[in-house]
Amino acid sequence: QVQLMESGGGLVQSGGSLRLSCAASGRIFSIENMGWYRQAPGKERELVAGITSAGTTNYADSVKGRFTISRDDAKNTVYLQMTSLKPDDTAVYYCNAYGSTYTMKGWTKYQQGNQHYWGQGTQVTVSS
């Protein structure tokens, strides 16, 4: 299993900034894609930003130019720098990782299949 621990959410005024972090731990063999999703009350969960293992990024149109996703593979951590925040950005933000774990047999690591893992979510509230 892979555990994802998010941090950095909170309350901020409109126009302010926040930085979310998500650290992955466990028997990680590799993490291919990492991303941030959000879900506002009464709405479906949506992709905010994603980043591949090669560093290719993609963003929801609503956050382009304001949010920046990055990753530190040495720390198995993904970040979301959010600037110029708006009340519409208020939501629970979830970290997602797509990757694989390993099992040990003797001294040999065996890769398991890729699957998606989710964090528990962190609340971001932007006041007007």
Structure-token match 């006041």, residue found: 127
Span 98-127, average pLDDT = 95
Instruction: Give ∠ CA 53-58-64 in degrees, rounded to 5.
Output: 140
Express each pLDDT in 34-83 by its tens digit: 999 999 999 999 999 999 999 999 999 999 999 999 999 999 999 999 99
**What single string gives the DSSP state of each residue in 2-15?**
EEEEEE--EEEETT
* CA–CA dist 41, 68 (Å, integer): 24
Give pLDDT, residue 1. Answer: 87
